[in-house]
Each structure stands twice: as C-alpha cells, then as structure tokens.
C-alpha cells in the first residue's frame, strides 16, 4: 500500500514537472504561410463603386491584401486609371515595387493627363535611387498640375539626393508656398528616410532651417536648426553668415540654442 502511494506521488510529481517545463520553454517553431486575409471575399453582385469603396476602407485599415482583392474585382468590372493608381499605391505599401511600377504605368497609359500617376511612378524611381528618372516623372506631374505641394517636395528630395542643392531649394520653396506644413508631415517618413548618410540628413535639416528663416517662421527654423545640430552638421557655423538667418540671429532663442550646442545624437 505504501509502495503504491509512493509510486502515485512520484507519478504526479513527474507530471507536474513536465507541465512546468513545457510552460517555461517557449515554442520556437516558425511557420511561414501565405499572407493572411481577414475580409470577406468580394461579392460577385457588388457594383464597381461598392468594391472600390470597400477597397478604400481596407487600405485605410492597412489590410492591403484584402484591398487588392476588392480593387482587382472592381477593375475587372469597370477599368479606370484611378483604380490602377490605387492598386499601385497598395502594392507600394506592400513593397512590391515592380508590381506598383507596372500599375502606375498602366494608369498613365489609360490617362495621359493623370498627374498623380506620374508622381507616384516617380516615387518608385526615387525609392530605387534612380533619381534622374524620378525627376522626369515629377516634372511631368507638375506640368499637368502646379498646385500640388507634394510634387514639388518630391522633386526637391530627388534633386537633394543628386546634390543639386540650388534646384532642391527652389523646389522646396515652391512646396512651402503651397503648403507651409508639408515638411512636418514628410521630413522623417519621406525625405529623410531616403537620405544616404547622417551628413545628408543634417544638411537637409540645415536647408530646411534656412528656408523657414527666410519665410519668417522662426519656430520652425529653430526646430530644424536644432535637428541639424543634433545630427552633427559640420557647416553649422554658416548660420552666423547666411543672410537668411539675419532676422533669426536677433531672437534670444537662437542665441540660447547656439550657446547650448546640443550634442550630436550617435547613429
């Protein structure tokens, strides 16, 4: 009897130990499967407009694969350059650059006056570091539509990457005139994300500080000047000579910033 009780106790102890061990060691199995889709498949009886609207909703929720299903179904029922452009944007979000490029090219072929498609094709070339080709597409977009700040911002980024600073500044100035907040929305996720080195990013911030100072926006100028200092811009002493900063140099905040000289943030 005592032997049976001892054996039972040992069995329970071993079982408990195995359970604890299983809980302590996390599973390290990795399975790569097909991309998940969460939305219901497009309904056969839905109109092209309903399918496109649903695709827009899914893209807004970052359900890109589902969005492509709906856009594709809408395109089959009613082809349009707008749908092709949306498909290209969604493919770009998925980093399918080749597919996105083809979609934008199809959108342009469908409508030679479609400025957004030229601009978006330029973005693909820019991401692939084909800056000359990007510039050509941005210029085509601008020729068709002169009131889009993002076109000029993109053009400036491409010229900046080619180190054609004067042309970059001219494009950035035009973008700022059309939309003073354009760089607040794109400086980190757009332009700076493509800068090839910390020096380029610091230089970009200095150029932005100069542009905002010239426009009389001291707050934004100081923000970018601080970024340039933190990123270790080597030509920072030009701030005492450049005419664009003449007014800013009278601001006590400028004196305080330059006296403090924020240390460069290491990469």
* 262 inside domain: yes
Digitized pLDDT (tens) for each residue of the chain, 267 residues in all? 444 444 444 344 333 433 333 333 344 444 444 455 666 777 888 999 999 999 999 999 999 999 999 999 999 999 999 999 999 999 999 999 999 999 999 999 999 999 999 999 999 999 999 999 999 999 999 999 999 999 999 999 999 889 898 899 899 999 999 998 887 765 433 344 344 567 778 888 899 899 899 989 999 999 999 999 998 899 999 999 999 999 999 999 999 999 988 776 655
Asked which of 112, 140, 165 is the last residue of a domain, the reply is 112
143 in any annotated domain: no
Looking at 54, 82, 112, which one is the last position of a domain? 112
Give dist(CA 53, CA 184) in Å, integer. Answer: 29
Residue 7 within a domain? no
129 falls within a domain: no
Give me the number of domains the chain comprises.
2
Residue 140 lies in a domain: no
For residue 96, give the CATH number of its domain.
1.25.40.10
Q: Final residue of a domain: which of 84, 112, 140?
A: 112
Structural domain containing residue 221: 195-267
> Does residue 68 form part of some domain?
yes
251 in any annotated domain: yes
């Amino acid at each position: 009897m005592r032997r049976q009780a001892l054996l039972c106790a040992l069995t329970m102890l071993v079982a408990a130990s195995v359970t604890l061990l299983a809980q302590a060691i996390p599973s390290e199995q990795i399975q790569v499967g097909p991309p998940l889709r969460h939305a219901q498949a497009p309904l056969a009886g839905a109109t092209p407009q309903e399918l496109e609207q649903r695709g827009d909703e899914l893209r807004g929720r970052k359900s890109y694969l589902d969005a492509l299903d709906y856009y594709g179904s809408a395109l089959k029922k009613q082809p349009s350059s707008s749908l092709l452009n949306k498909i290209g944007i969604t493919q770009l979000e998925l980093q399918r650059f080749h597919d996105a490029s083809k979609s934008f090219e199809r959108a342009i072929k469908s409508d030679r006056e479609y400025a957004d498609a030229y601009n978006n094709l330029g973005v693909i070339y820019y991401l692939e570091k084909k800056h000359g080709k990007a510039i050509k597409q941005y210029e085509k977009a601008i020729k068709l539509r002169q009131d889009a700040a993002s076109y000029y911002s993109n053009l400036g980024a491409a010229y900046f990457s080619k180190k054609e600073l004067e042309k970059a500044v001219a494009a950035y100035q035009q973008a700022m005139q059309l939309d003073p907040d354009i760089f607040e929305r794109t400086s980190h996720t757009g332009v700076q994300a493509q800068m090839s080195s910390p020096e380029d990013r610091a230089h970009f911030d200095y150029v932005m500080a100069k542009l905002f100072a010239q426009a009389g926006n001291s707050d934004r100028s100081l923000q970018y000047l601080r970024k340039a200092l933190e990123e270790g811009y080597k030509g920072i002493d030009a701030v005492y000579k450049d005419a664009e900063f003449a007014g800013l140099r009278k601001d006590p905040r400028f004196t305080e910033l330059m006296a403090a000289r924020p240390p460069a943030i290491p990469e």
